[in-house]
Structure 1
Amino acid sequence: MERIDGDQLDGVSATTLWTLRNRAEEAMRADSSFDDPLAVEAYRAIDTDFTRFGKPSQTHPLRALAVGQEIRDYLDAHPRATVVALAEGLQTSYWRLGRPVRRWLSVDLPPVIALRERLFPPEEAIEYRAMSALDTSWADDIDADDGVIVTAEGLLMYLTPEEARGLIAFLAGRFPGGVLVFDSIPHWFSRKTLSGLKLSTGYQAPPMPFALTVSEAAALIDLPGVTEVTDLELPPGRGPWKTSLLRTLSSLPKIRDIRPSLTRVRF
């Protein structure tokens, strides 16, 4: 594959390079069970300074595994459902599913979609929408009767609180019977980004104004159309991430609201 300039992405869009690097580095480890060959191929094809994102972390590959399992579970119950990946970035979820999908909408800003089209093979099921997730016209031609599952990995934290809650409310009203899976950051981490969080000496993370604790996410049940809210566990990883102790501790009342979270909302 030809080398591709990754510096064409900036701001929030550039964070997709951060998550790609973490998934690819994890997939290349001999002691990891995480498998993402397409991410490794894309990682090797992109020319950029990946060291700016600091030390690789397991959080993004484990998040990807958890979201992938949620998609599989929903498709088991709704085989003809549409999958909508909001702000999909350079995720490779479609190819890691290991099962057919009738329709997959990939929504992201034009520079990201252009990069996806260069890096990833075309698939009949995948349709690209080169627009902001907040431009909800991407939903105009979706028939919710067969089911819809929406994923938002690494999206909501970059929105304002009003935008994030408004998007959730829109999805709840537009897709009855559907599901939304999204990740959130705690308030202390949001404050760090607003003050200028440096991942390395040469890179400052974009501001992340929207934070949502596990307790605050549970209150989304009060939104019209929301029928269930569930805090999801990440699957086991390596080292400390392999034991059940970390997951047990993270569920304690004093800890669960100061950690990142992954939430499933049913409509």
Structure 2
Amino acid sequence: MTEREIPVHAQLSGVPETALWTLRNRAEEALRADSGFADAEAVRLYRRLGGEDFERFGPPSQVHALRAQVIDTVIAEFLGSHPGAPVVALGEGLQTTYWRLGEPESAWYSIELPEMIDAQERLLPAAPGITRLAYSALDRQWLEKVPSGPAVITAEGLFMYLPTADVHALIADLAAHFPGGVLVYDSIPRLFSAMTRTGRVRLSDRYTAPPMPTSQSPRQARRLPGRIPGVVAAQDLLPPRGRGRWGSPVLRWAADTPIGHALRPSITLLRFAQ
């Protein structure tokens, strides 16, 4: 079997399959001559998986590359002020953040379902700095294997697929286990969540996005410090300007209006009490 014949889709379905969707979007953006986004490892893997039916995910979008840039910045800034602190990537999928950041010296923990851990080990480069733990993010057993204390935790493309009560309970446990740490995650608006739950988000005639039961607006995020134990601050992070309409100053202005808050995806940074 050649490298271009690896049947990743045969092992991944449902939510795990979305890792191929986001991989394709990051790689396609990195391949554009007019893009400032670089992701050499995503491009390598995308080319290696050339036998995959990536067209089922519809036209490429820069949204996942813009999200990745926000996550990269949060991690880099936290490690800059907390040298040696661990990185905990919940539901990491086929993210290539570790390589975009130059393989940081901090311990890196990837928390993923067993089938995705298997895909990571087959497809991504050997990385002694990464510890892969085959657990659901909601299975608290993984917390026993990660040192307590300040850490930067990411949940990129994860929380929208989980029940809201479970997400809030998990955040409380993260705050307790990682005092002084931060958590960065992305959210979808309520309307989009409702559309996925009724199967109306069809990227093509061959692919329908999985249900996403949890939504969150920036306004709802601001209320979390008073509602989830251990959370002391919440910040709405806007992505960098992209190409075309994604770089429009008007769109930027609209995104920060009350209507924009209700209708747009968001990225939230939570800070935990010491």
TM range (shorter): over 0.9
Shift of the alpha carbon at 1:255? 1.3
Shift of the alpha carbon at 1:221? 0.8
Q: Which position in structure 1 is the counterpart of 2:40?
A: 37
* 1:121 equivalenced with 2:125 (yes/no): yes
After the TM superposition, list the runs of 4 or more consecutive aligned residues in structure 1 that deviate by more than 4 angstroms.
none
Contact 1:83 1:104 in 2 (8 A): yes
Contact 1:144 1:178 in 2 (8 A): no
Shift of the alpha carbon at 1:175? 1.2
Letter matched to residue 65 of structure 1: Q
1:227-255 CA distance string (max 9 Å, x none):
11000010121112224332222001221
1:165-222 CA distance string (max 9 Å, x none):
1111211222110000000000000000011021111111110000111111111111
Q: How does 1:228-267 map to 2 (within 5 A)?
A: 228-267=233-272
Find the aligned partners of 1:244 and 1:175 in 2 and give their Cα distance.
37
Letter matched to residue 157 of structure 1: M
CA RMSD of aligned residues (A): 1.3
Letter matched to residue 257 of structure 1: A
Q: Which position in structure 2 is the counterpart of 1:211?
A: 215
Contact 1:19 1:60 in 2 (8 A): yes
Q: Which position in structure 2 is the counterpart of 1:191?
A: 194
Q: Which position in structure 1 is the counterpart of 2:161?
A: 158
Structure-2-length-normalised TM-score:
0.94
> How many residue pairs align between the two structures?
266
Find the aligned partners of 1:62 and 1:75 in 2 and give their Cα distance.
20
Q: Which position in structure 1 is the counterpart of 2:79?
A: 75
Find the aligned partners of 1:168 and 1:254 in 2 and give their Cα distance.
27
Compare 181-190 and 132-141 and name the one that shifted more.
Answer: 132-141
Q: Which position in structure 2 is the counterpart of 1:101?
A: 105
Q: Which position in structure 1 is the counterpart of 2:54?
A: 50
**5+ residue gaps in structure 1?**
none
Letter matched to residue 2 of structure 1: E
Residue 149 (structure 1) aligned to one of 139, 147, 152: 152
* 1:5 equivalenced with 2:7 (yes/no): yes
Shift of the alpha carbon at 1:98? 2.8
Structure-1-length-normalised TM-score:
0.96
**5+ residue gaps in structure 2?**
none
Letter matched to residue 161 of structure 1: T
Compare 243-252 and 182-191 and name the one that shifted more.
Answer: 243-252
SS at match of 1:144: coil
Contact 1:106 1:129 in 2 (8 A): yes
Find the aligned partners of 1:38 and 1:71 in 2 and give their Cα distance.
18
SS at match of 1:235: coil
Aligned residues with identical type, % of pairs:
50
